[in-house]
Amino acid sequence: MIFKTRLEGDALKGFETELDALRLEVLNDIGERDAKHIRKMRHIVQASAIVGRSSLMFGFGPISWVAGVIGLSLAKILENMEVGHNVMHGQYDWMNDPSLNSQTYEWDIVCDGDHWRHSHNVEHHNHTNILGLDHDFGYGMLRLTESQKWTPSTLLQPLWYFLLAINFQWGVAVHDIKIGRFVKGRMKYAEFRERVSPFLKKAGLQLFKDYVLFPALAFWQWPRVLLGNLIANLIRNIWTNAIIFCGHFTEDVQTYTRKEVENETRGQWYLRQIQGSSNLEGGRWFHLLTGHLSHQIEHHLFPDLPAPRYAEIAPRVKDICARYGVNYNTGGFWKQYAGVLVRIVKHAWPTRQRLLTNASAT
């Protein structure tokens, strides 16, 4: 087991200064190359969507169907991860391109853009892994640390997790409505209705597109289009879920209490972002398909730097961590994902809460 590192005094200040300097260095270098990258990604998304959807609609036989599913899945995954998620973080706002503006971008998923901007950019990135404040920690469904409350239904959480994984876009979509709060009577119906309506609108449009409009345009071929779209959405759901869970719920990821983060400095915030995140190792296309969330640590340190930069600065972040004795949590996909599954199964049982001792100050 790896314990949480806490830095103090000069070490903390030095750690903060080094990371600030790294961010500034990249900021000063941003330009043409990053603009080209995001435009290229958007072109790949559009091309694979056109190829994927048309081979589903107008193709014959199983091979074109599989090709169609692959094309459409690729389009959805890249659009959600490398384009949508990153654009909505403001990574490309400096381009002054209204079609790549963080505040107006809308993505190909049932989750409304404004809901995402709030639950993800504001709540999750600000309060990363603070129990009770970061609603992404366990998504209000899963118990992933001893400090979370255990109920008998937690025993079934591997099943809940499976259901969440295959329906992940819906989990993300209803996340910012805060249904739990309404159910517990802590939200008035009027507010609830106001929060639900953007979700219903966006979900309606997405369902219509994938399950009515495109199947209908294929006439008698509608079943293969309908099924293909369903499978493509499913592949995207499972993939994004696995990547995102690997980002924060692997075995050695730390959690924080509200008390711990009182009067937190920026250096401590950086520390929490690093110790609350974990990376995945892989090749260039693997990183692209994860939207560079495989560099979750770098992304959480600097959420508004263009994502391909994360891969470039990763060795230096790792070096800074090594020098300050901070665990840099990284590994291959299967190792990290196995850690996630272990965590889900382990805490399905009523694991006892460890007492916070000075042992954590190793």
Partner 1 sequence: MFTVIHGQDMNKPQAKPKTRHSGVRQFLRHPLWAPLNQRSAWDRLATAVNPLWSLIEARARVEKIVDEAPGVKSLWLKTNARFKGFVPGQHVLLELEINGARHARCFSFSNASDKDGLIRITIKQKANGPVSAAAHALRVGQIVRLSQAQGSFAPRSSDGKLLMLSAGSGVTPLMSLLQAMKNENSSRDVVILHCGRTQADIIFSDELQSLAAQSANLRVHLHATENGGRVNADIISTLVPDWKTRETLLCGPDGFMQGIEKMFADAGRSDYLQSESFGRRAAPIDPNAAEHAITHGNAEQVFTVQAGQSLLDGAEAAGLQPRFGCRRGICRTCQCKKLSGTVTNLLTGQVSGPGEELIQLCISTPQSALELAL
Site for partner 1 in 87-116 (CB under 8 A): 89-90, 93-99, 102-103
Is 228 a binding residue for partner 1 by CB under 8 A? The answer is no
* One-letter amino acid of 163: L
Bridge partners of residue 332, in order along the sequence = 281
User: By the 8 A CB rule, do 160 and 142 touch?
Assistant: yes
Separation CA 274–CA 295 (nearest Å): 11
Residue from the set 54, 64, 121, 147 that interacts with partner 1 by CB under 8 A = 121
Rounded to the nearest 10 degrees, how much is the dihedral formed by the CA atoms of 109, 114, 116, 122? 170
DSSP SS3 for 16: helix
Comparing CB distances to partner 1, the nearer of 97 and 194 is: 97
**Interactions with partner 1, residue window 244-283 (CB under 8 A):** 266, 269
* Site track 3-42 with partner 1 (rule: CB under 8 A), x = hit: -----------------x--xx--x--xxxxxxx-----x
Is the Cβ of residue 46 or residue 362 nearer to partner 1 in the bound state?
46
In the stretch 204-223, what mask flags binding to partner 1 with x, by CB under 8 A? Answer: -x--xx---x----------
Based on CB atoms, which residue is closest to partner 1, 102 or 327? 102
- Residues with Cβ within 8 Å of residue 76, at least 6 apart in sequence: 49, 108, 109, 232, 233, 236
| Contacting range for partner 1; rule: CB under 8 A; set: 86-94, 131-139, 149-157, 176-184 | 86-94
What is the binding site for partner 1 (CB under 8 A)?
Answer: 20, 23-24, 27, 30-36, 42-43, 46, 49, 89-90, 93-99, 102-103, 117-118, 121-122, 125-126, 205, 208-209, 213, 266, 269, 303-304
